């Protein structure tokens, strides 16, 4: 467990290298963010942030509104201005890569606002998502996606705009899954869903981790729900690390919950 106060300490392990050379995948973190300062052009949002996600685990990011959770995901996916620090995927630096290159590395980013094509059918959406696959791969993977998300089979030939919020979220997840990502970055996938649908979406995320071995980084507004699912958790506030450790450790830290997470 680390309680990092103003974000001054970092939790880099002995396997990190400073020279940017290729590093074997050695059971270390699949994503490692160190001393990251980033933002949007001249708007500085994250300060000296550290973050690690372990392979095939669910790593949760929580924190108050505006604390920089989405900015951390967007920084990992190459969408922010990086002033300082480094982001590594399987030991290799990806800090300088474009979102296009990062997607090719099999990192999928599901933004806070759904990215489905409303005017296309469910099947057409899957075709769009699978543009890098050849016909044989596509034919093999569609049944797998429809099996994982049976609701998509029901509406396969309907336009995405007719789907409910939860169903759209399932489609967005299916569109990411068809490319067989190694890491999935989820930004509040349950926002504006009913409690029942939110639980369904979160259980699908767990299923994708369990069945496809995906490493998940999850920003989630409902802290208790997220902590039930997560293997480890990072708390950000004002663009800085406040805490990282296990969900149990965070829950035991009553004053952090009260101060930053609206918990009693």
The binder of ligand ATP chosen from 32, 50, 69, 88 (CB under 6 A) = 69
Q: How far is CA 162 from CA 30, 121, 153, 264, in A?
A: 37, 9, 14, 39
Least Å distance, CB 30 to ligand ATP, is: 22
Least Å distance, CB 72 to ligand ATP, is: 7
With H, G, I as helix, E, B as strand and everything else as coil, classify residue 105: coil
Interstrand relation of 240-245 and 232-237 (parallel, antiparallel or unpaired): antiparallel
Least Å distance, CB 187 to Mg ion, is: 6
CA atoms of 46 and 71, how far apart (whole Å): 8
CA atoms of 44 and 38, how far apart (whole Å): 6
78 in contact with ligand ATP (CB under 6 A)? no
Buried b (16+ CB within 10 A) or exposed e, 28-60: bbbbbbbebbbbeeeeebbbbbbbbbbbebbbb
66, interface contact from Mg ion, ligand ATP, none, CB < 5-8 Å by kind:
ligand ATP
75 in contact with Mg ion (CB under 5 A)? no
Q: Nearest to residue 247, comparing CAs of 237, 263, 110?
A: 263
Helices and strands counted in the chain (H then E):
10, 11
Least Å distance, CB 113 to ligand ATP, is: 11
Least Å distance, CB 183 to ligand ATP, is: 19
Report the residue number, 72 or 175, with the smaller CB distance to Mg ion: 72
CA atoms of 149 and 170, how far apart (whole Å): 7
70 in contact with ligand ATP (CB under 6 A)? yes
Cα angle 125-131-132, degrees, rounded to a multiple of 5? 145
Q: Which listed range, 2-10, 12-20, 60-68, 241-249, lies at the site for ligand ATP (CB under 6 A)?
A: 60-68
34 in contact with Mg ion (CB under 5 A)? no
Interaction pattern, residues 24-53, with ligand ATP; x per rule: CB under 6 A? ----------------x--x-x--------
Under the rule (CB under 6 A), what is the footprint of ligand ATP?
40, 43, 45, 63, 65-71
Under the rule (CB under 5 A), what is the footprint of Mg ion?
70
């Amino acid at each position: 467990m680390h309680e990092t106060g103003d974000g001054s300490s970092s939790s880099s392990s002995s396997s990190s290298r400073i020279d940017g050379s290729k590093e074997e995948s050695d059971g270390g973190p699949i994503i490692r963010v160190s001393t990251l300062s980033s933002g949007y052009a001249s708007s500085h949002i994250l300060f000296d942030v550290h973050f690690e996600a372990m392979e095939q685990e669910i790593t949760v990011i929580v924190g108050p509104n505006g604390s920089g959770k989405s900015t951390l995901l967007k920084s990992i996916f190459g969408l922010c201005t990086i002033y300082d620090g480094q982001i590594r995927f399987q030991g290799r630096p990806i800090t300088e890569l474009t979102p296009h290159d990062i997607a090719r590395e099999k990192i999928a980013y599901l933004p806070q606002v759904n990215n489905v094509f409303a005017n296309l059918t469910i099947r057409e959406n899957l075709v769009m998502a699978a543009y890098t696959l050849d016909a044989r791969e596509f034919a093999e993977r569609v049944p797998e996606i429809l099996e994982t998300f049976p609701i998509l089979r029901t509406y396969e030939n309907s336009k995405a705009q007719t789907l409910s919020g939860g169903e759209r979220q399932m489609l967005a997840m299916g569109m990411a899954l068809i490319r067989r990502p190694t890491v999935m970055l989820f930004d509040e996938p349950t926002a504006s869903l009913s409690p029942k649908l939110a639980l369904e979406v979160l259980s699908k995320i767990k299923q994708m981790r369990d069945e496809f071995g995906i490493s998940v980084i999850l920003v989630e507004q409902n802290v208790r729900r997220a902590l039930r699912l997560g293997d480890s958790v990072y708390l950000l506030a004002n663009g800085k690390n406040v805490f990282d450790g296990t969900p149990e450790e965070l829950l035991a830290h009553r004053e952090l919950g009260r101060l930053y997470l609206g918990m009693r």
